[in-house]
Amino acid sequence: MEHMSTNLAIIFDFDGTMVNLFACYDLTRTTKSLSLASEKYGIHFDCRLDPFDIFTEISKHILPGNKRETAYLEAHAILTQAELEAVKTCEPLCGMEEVFPRLCAQYRVGIATNNSEECVRHFLSGHFPELDLPIVGRVGTAPERMKPNSWPLKTAAKQMGSHPDTILFIGDTSTDQLCAQRAGCAFLGIAPSPSKHEDMLNFLPKNHIVENYYEIPRKIELFTERPVAFRRKSTSRP
């Protein structure tokens, strides 16, 4: 692999890309806590919603200012607690324990996620204690910076001293793909299940998708050979 550019940097998403964070964790208590907390601000948060939707509900019902920031921070704390509990229940995705350390030894690697930095660091300390990677996580006072906003990816790139042209972002959702597009980075999708693979085909070409970590090194080779191809706009079915 001597032909690879030494400038190449790889940034990973976290939940769905490195682990399935809430696969074995019941979020019922979390959504109830968010609902109770939001009532103080006159917000009815439907417990059937995704917990991360709380930030949208807060921004819709509370004008910018100290009150909104306080509500954001309270929601962020509840979600962070759930993440820290959930991360203890999950394992790295298939092939990650073998492949990820090799990638970190060969390239600059970072993480850009909508999860809390504390959660990601807890995961790394438990499974890859030898690694000290730059991590850009959710900002409690500014959830509008979460993906698909390009801020997490651009901030991680800046911390790594990398230009978007030299970055391959690996994620598992259309939100990740849009974030990469907005940041001017190449994107590789990881789809560890048939249903996720089928969904990903709605916005990515088949050859821009891997099913596990074992397939990533070969895709990196293709990226270094044809980087522009990995920056094409998302595809969609008629």
Q: 182, 148 in Cβ contact below 8 A?
A: yes
Question: 26 pLDDT band (50/70/90 cuts)?
Answer: very high
Per-residue pLDDT, 151: 98
Per-residue pLDDT, 217: 96
Pick from 143, 146, 179: which is nearest to 55 by CA?
143
The 10s digit of each residue's pLDDT in 148-200 is: 999 999 999 999 999 998 999 999 999 999 999 999 999 999 999 999 999 99
Model confidence at 88: pLDDT above 50: yes
Model confidence at 235: pLDDT above 60: no
**What is the chain's mean pLDDT, rounded?**
93
Q: 91 exposed, middle or buried (CB, 10 Å; 0-12, 13-18, 19+)?
A: middle
Place of tokens 């995705």: 93
Q: 28, 127 in Cβ contact below 8 A?
A: no
